[in-house]
Amino acid sequence: MAPAMKAYSPQEIVGSFIYLKASVPESVLPVSVIAEHQSDKEKFDYCAAEQLMRYFVHVMNRGVKFSSNGNRIIEADADSSLGNGAKMYSRTGGCVFLANGPISVRASTQKHLATGTQESETYGLSEVIHDTLASKNVVMSLPWSEVNELKKELESAPVVRVDNQAVWLSAPKVVFGKKLRHIALRYYHITEAIGKGEIVLKWVASGENRADILSKRIPSPSVFKRGADRLSGHV
């Protein structure tokens, strides 16, 4: 590890990463993991921080890309990884897109301890729906959203995609058995958002879910690069 890295406090390093991750969306998960111990210098992983800084330097000229011919309907991908966070809490990965580029990215540890994949995925979907609707409100508040040719598309219900078929099939109907009633009570707003036409929920194959690299570590460099390119709007 470069001695220069330890010259800075964990808070300074994490603060720099938070600034840099805006143009490197695939870094949101590692920044989140590294930041977990920023208040404890003994537990803070300086080696991981140095590796991440090297990655930032490697991709510094790439940035994120928005397409003038891209989809002007807001869309989002949601994914969760069961028990993959600290103390076996699941992680939520989510990204909101406009014109093929990311406008909101999430990689967070869930506050509720999920005991099954459907529970974890439902929790994550609810968080990403919140992000999606909040992003839409921000976009609609901008002056250029009043341009007639854009307004109709921007007002359309955002498309939110998930790769878990059980969640996709059950969410619009609130068909939960007794064992899943706690999920129905906690996340009823998913069904409400669908019923009110606030979002459109679609299923997508796991390999096409752009939020996949935000919920778990990807061991394959080639798969990670493809996911990073898609997440940043370059594919």
Question: In this prediction, what percent of the chain has a pLDDT beyond 90?
Answer: 58
- Which tokens sit at 210? 């752009």
Give mean pLDDT, residues 41-52: 92
Instruction: Compute the mean pLDDT over every residue in the chain, rounded to the nearest whole number.
Output: 87
pLDDT of res. 203 = 96
CA nearest 75: which of 159, 148, 200? 159
pLDDT of res. 3 = 65
Give mean pLDDT, residues 22-46: 93
**148-193 residue pLDDT tens:** 677 778 888 999 999 999 888 877 765 555 555 556 665 777 888 8
pLDDT of res. 132 = 96
CA nearest 110: which of 19, 202, 186? 186
Q: Return the biggest CA–CA distance within the chain.
A: 57
Whether the model pTM is above 0.85: yes
Is the pLDDT at 15 greater than 80? The verdict is yes
pLDDT of res. 180 = 57
Angle, alpha carbons 220-226-228 (nearest 5°): 100
**99-158 residue pLDDT tens:** 999 999 999 998 888 888 888 898 899 999 999 999 999 998 888 766 667 777 888 899
pLDDT of res. 181 = 58
Give mean pLDDT, residues 59-63: 91
Contact call for residues 158 and 76 (beta carbons, < 8 A): yes
All domains in the chain, ordered by first residue: 3-58 (no CATH), 75-231 (3.30.420.10)
Contacts of residue 213, defined as CB under 8 A and 6 or more positions apart, other chains included, come to: 26, 29, 93, 224, 227, 228, 231
pLDDT of res. 74 = 92
CA nearest 137: which of 104, 105, 168, 161? 104
**213-232 residue pLDDT tens:** 999 988 899 999 999 999 99
